[in-house]
């Protein structure tokens, strides 16, 4: 099996931690991974991306070719649009709906989300709100990992084990906050997908989800 994932965001938003968690889970499986990162100048508030590929056989290119990404996972909606040409026909977009506005010409946020929603397979969730509910605003990247998890081909336990490995040095409390963040993200994405399948528009699905408490997300359906 080959999986190609493009992670997108703005320098400082923590996309490399998401990449790291997935890579740890891949290695635990005994598979191979290639994870191309952006370091240096762009990290200062600029657009950043990471190409993450994993497989049970040899991977050649560190960079994903056009049209070959199984997922674009973004911690910010505008950054999704920068990479749609990489998405495969059946690829899925998973993005946070919280914009990171540090440029004067950021387009209207609703319009940006509508452009994302033109791709049938997409999930837009309020990662910041879920992270706060999980106990730390800083865990929004792990919320997004949770939101991506139903599509990655891992059991959730594999990714939670990776989260534990990553955060155990920082103590049990941090591990638990991140695990909760992961679960909230996973539930929200599952509910969103159900809502879209049930005929809701992206806009309606988001509104519906905003009205639910994180605890109510489990098994929630339209």
Partner 1 sequence: MMELLLGDEAIGLGAIHAGISGSFSYPGTPATEILEFVAKKTQKAGKVSARWSANEKVAYEEALGMSFAGKRALVSMKHVGLNVAADPFMNSALTGAKGGLVVAVADDPSMHSSQNEQDSRYYGQFAKVLVFEPSNQQQAYDMTREAFEVSEKTGLPVMLRVVTRLAHSRANVETRTPLEPTDVGRVTQTADWTLLPVNARRRYRRLLDVQKDLAAYAEASPYNELNLKGKKGIITSGIAANYVEEVIGENSDFSLLTIRVYPTPRNLVRKLVEHCDEIIVIEEGYPFIEGQLTGLLGVPGKTISGKLSGALPEDGELSADLVRRALGMKTIQAHDAAGKIPGRPPQLCQGCPHSDSYGAILAAAAGDERPYMFSDIGCYTLSALPPYNAIDTCVDMGASISMALGAAKAGRHPVVCSIGDSTFIHSGMTGLIGAAHENANMTVFILDNATVGMTGGQEVFATGESLVSVVKGLGVDPEHIVTIVPMEKNHEKNVALVRREINYKGLSVVIADRACIQAMRKMAAEKKKSAEKEKETVKV
* All residues at 6 or more sequence positions from 71 whose CB lies less than 8 Å from its CB, including other chains: 3, 4, 5, 6, 87, 91, 92, 93, 94, 148, 151, 152
Among 1, 40, 111, 219, binds partner 1 (CB under 8 A): 40
Binding status of residue 34 toward partner 1 by CB under 8 A? yes
Residue 134: strand pairing partners: none
Binding status of residue 105 toward partner 1 by CB under 8 A? yes
Q: How many residues sit in the footprint of partner 1 (CB under 8 A)?
A: 47
Helix axes of 140-148 and 156-167: crossing angle, nearest 10 degrees: 160
Please identify, using beta-carbon distances, which residue of 85 and 221 lies nearer to partner 1: 85
Q: Do the Cβ atoms of 124 and 202 come closer than 8 Å? A: yes
Helix axes of 202-210 and 109-117: crossing angle, nearest 10 degrees: 120
Identify the residue whose tokens are 């199984």: 70
Per CB under 8 A, which region of 98-106, 133-141, 151-159, 187-195 contacts partner 1? 98-106
Encoding tokens for residue 64? 């994903």
Among 14, 46, 99, 135, binds partner 1 (CB under 8 A): 46
Per CB under 8 A, which region of 78-86, 123-131, 152-160, 176-184 contacts partner 1? 78-86
What is the contact mask toward partner 1 in residues 11 to 30, using x (rule: CB under 8 A)?
Answer: x-----------xx--x---
Would you tell me which residues interact with partner 1 (CB under 8 A)? 10-11, 23-24, 27, 32-47, 59-63, 65-68, 78-79, 81-82, 84-85, 87-89, 91, 102-103, 105-107, 115, 119
């Amino acid at each position: 099996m080959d999986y190609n994932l493009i992670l997108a965001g703005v320098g400082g938003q923590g996309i490399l931690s998401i990449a790291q968690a997935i890579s740890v889970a891949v290695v635990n499986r005994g598979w191979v991974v290639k994870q191309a990162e952006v370091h240096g100048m762009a990290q200062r508030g600029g657009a950043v991306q990471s190409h993450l590929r994993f497989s049970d056989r040899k991977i050649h290119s560190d960079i994903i070719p056009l049209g070959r990404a199984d997922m674009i996972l973004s911690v910010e909606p505008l950054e999704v649009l920068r990479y749609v040409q990489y998405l495969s026909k059946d690829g899925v977009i998973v993005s946070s709906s919280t914009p990171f506005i540090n440029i004067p010409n950021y387009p209207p946020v609703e319009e940006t989300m509508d452009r994302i929603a033109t791709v049938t397979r997409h999930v837009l969730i309020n990662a910041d709100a879920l992270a706060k509910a999980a106990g730390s605003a800083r865990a929004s990247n792990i919320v997004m990992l949770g939101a991506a998890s139903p599509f990655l081909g891992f059991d959730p336990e594999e990714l939670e084990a990776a989260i534990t490995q990553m955060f155990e040095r920082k103590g049990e409390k941090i591990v638990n906050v991140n695990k909760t963040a992961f679960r909230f993200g996973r539930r929200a994405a599952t509910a969103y997908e159900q809502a879209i399948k049930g005929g809701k528009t992206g806009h309606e699905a988001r509104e519906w989800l905003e009205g639910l408490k994180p605890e109510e997300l489990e098994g929630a359906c339209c």
